[in-house]
Amino acid sequence: MESWVIYALLSALFAGMVAVSAKVGLAHISGDLALAIRTAVIFVLVAVHTLIGRSYVDAGKLSPREWGFLIFSGAATMLSWLCYYRAVKLGPVSGVALIDKSSVLITVLLAIWLLGEPLTWRLAVGGALMLAGFLVLSLR
């Protein structure tokens, strides 16, 4: 198995833990406070990881365009998490997670459109199956 697949599977595992642990942690506080706590923890852990791995030396390699896209990505992440935590606070975790994961289909479409990634028959069939599953589970 290729290493990127292992990392993607681990990402899915940890992402699955996020919603359930967030729902428990949100019991008596707002989604905004929960997001601030989560973000502070992430910042500290990522900063330590970056320092230990000396990854910060690569910052000088970034072009202004790349800086801009990383800044936009950070803003989009914040907006996504803000909405996610609000949704988890107000609704059932299983429903929120299902709708949130429809972002995979948006990512695939954007990758094809903006990055020029190829639309293979496997990607098209997989995306169609994901869309069908999403519709089956979310429509009443």
Per-residue pLDDT tens, the chain, 140 aa: give them: 888 888 888 888 888 888 889 888 988 999 899 999 999 999 999 999 999 999 888 989 999 999 999 999 999 999 999 999 899 889 888 888 888 888 989 999 999 999 999 999 999 999 999 889 888 877 77
Please list, in sequence order, all residues whose beta carbon lies within 8 angstroms of the beta carbon of residue 87, skipping any fewer than 6 positions away. Answer: 96, 99, 100
Element spanning 43, H or E: helix 31-53
Torsion of CA 133, 115, 42, 46, to 10 degrees: 140
